[in-house]
Amino acid sequence: MKRLTALLATACAALLYAAAALVFPHYAAAATMTEVTNFGANPGNLRMYVYVPNNVQPNPAIVLAMHPCGGSGPGFYSSSEFASLADRYGFVAIFPSASKKANCFDNWSDASKVRGGQTDPVSLMSMVTYVEQQYHGDPSRVFATGSSSGAMMTNAMLALYPEVFKAGAAFMGVPFTCFPNEAAYQPGGNSAPCVGKTAQQWGDLVRNANPSYRGPWPRMQLWHGTSDTVVAYAELEEEVKQWTNVHGLNQTPTSTATPQAGWNLRRFADASGSVKVEAYSIQGAGHSLPTSGMAAVAIQFFGLTGASPSPSPTVSPSPTPTVTPSPTPTVTPSPTVTPTASPCRVVYTANSWNNGFTADITITNRGTTAINGWTVTWTWPGNQQVANAWNATVTQSGAQVTARNVSYNGTIAPGAGTSFGFQASYSGTNTAPSQFTVNGSICAIT
């Protein structure tokens, strides 16, 4: 889809922080997310945030969790379930923030395709090494996951450093080395080079990144929505080709399942029955993954739950973690409102600095029928003023704000979600709205 460049450019302007980073102690306080500076070589100019749960294991596993374009480490911490799963299973989670091309992780430069290239993968490896050294992280249990741009980087990290990462989970990604240059970084609707290579060609690109490596190769779990118009659903098959070929498997699954309504799972196992690749097609889902419960499936695939991987683990609800305020960015907590039988849920995350902020809003359809066209409204409790937005058309009259879907994200299937964001200014206190409505219905806020 060729509109992605415009979306990325808008998000880039929206997500620049206005203050410099502070230096924090080596150890984050338990059950808080802390920014770490001076974590090692950082040619990608990334920012590192680390989350250490109260029940962190003595030699914890490490999960590198990477945000989509236009996002941030604190935003993915708040909007995904990986922090609450760290609370449950005792691993350390790293939430990096990208800095290039609308806060996308670099998946296009020549340097991003070679081991030791002076760009984002080297910075991410520095973060992993830091956690191994400072938190006694277990080097035999290091994993990567991410959404969209973060999923693309998940593919890259497993390809470039296969001896480091034991498994990955990529939500809405593309194969390693998909993009030949920055100008081609338009995942949706781009028929070449991201679609059309043979499995052997895709596999060779991974093997050529480490010509002397003989395995074992990391296991890979792949997710994509069938209605994704930002990163084309066709990219899922290219990823399947790449990773099954790396593992010496063909593209015929060894088993299939429907673990939940609308979730179609294909598994690819070796001769011993060990599953090396999983592919989830989410019927009707757009560019909105992971949604509720999917992160838990990824963590179980990693083997961090103490049980064998299964397609649909049961996860007890955990409260959304609250980011401890820091000078840049400060995450404004949202109030919790739970209307009875609410047909929708809203997650609101604001990242503030001085007199400005950006906010991400995720809408989830809790009803039994699809939402076809959505309008979100809220009222500011203060003097907040929206300046620009992405993935929605946002207007403001006084304190009243209205956000409407754009052409490619108007449909939200039951159980699915979509996200949009904006940049705004404020003075005084940046208090979150106390109520959101979707098409006139009051939503639960989490």
- Alpha carbons 47 and 219: distance in angstroms, whole number: 27
- Cα 50 to its chain centre, rounded Å, is 15
- Cα 358 to its chain centre, rounded Å, is 17
- Alpha carbons 333 and 322: distance in angstroms, whole number: 6
Please name the residue that has the structure tokens 């039951």: 414
Q: Show the CA angle centred on residue 76, arms to residues 71 and 78, nearest 5°.
A: 125
Task: Using CB atoms within 10 Å of the CB of residue 402, give its burial: 0 to 12 exposed, 13 to 18 middle, 19+ buried.
Answer: middle
- Alpha carbons 80 and 94: distance in angstroms, whole number: 13
71: CB partners within 8 A, 6+ apart: 15, 103, 147, 150, 360
- Alpha carbons 352 and 430: distance in angstroms, whole number: 8
- Alpha carbons 248 and 31: distance in angstroms, whole number: 41
- Cα 310 to its chain centre, rounded Å, is 21
- Give the phi and the psi of residue 83 in degrees, each rounded to 5: -70, -45
Residue tagged active-site, from 79, 109, 148, 419: 148
Q: What is the DSSP letter of 238?
A: H
Q: What is the DSSP letter of 165?
A: -
User: Is 148 annotated in the active site?
Assistant: yes
DSSP E strand stretches across 242-369: 255-260, 263-269, 275-282, 330-332, 344-353, 356-365
Q: Write the DSSP assignment of 341-391 as a string of letters.
A: T-SEEEEEEEEEETTEEEEEEEEEE-SSS-EES-EEEEE-SS--EEEEEES
Q: Are strands 142-147 and 92-94 parallel, antiparallel or unpaired?
A: unpaired
Q: Which two tokens stand for residue 32?
A: 């808080």
Query: 3-state class of 142 per DSSP?
Result: strand
- Give the phi and the psi of residue 67 in degrees, each rounded to 5: -80, 165
Q: Confirm if 61 and 76 have CB atoms less than 8 A apart.
A: no
Please name the residue that has the structure tokens 């400072």: 134
- Alpha carbons 199 and 249: distance in angstroms, whole number: 10
Catalytic residues: 148
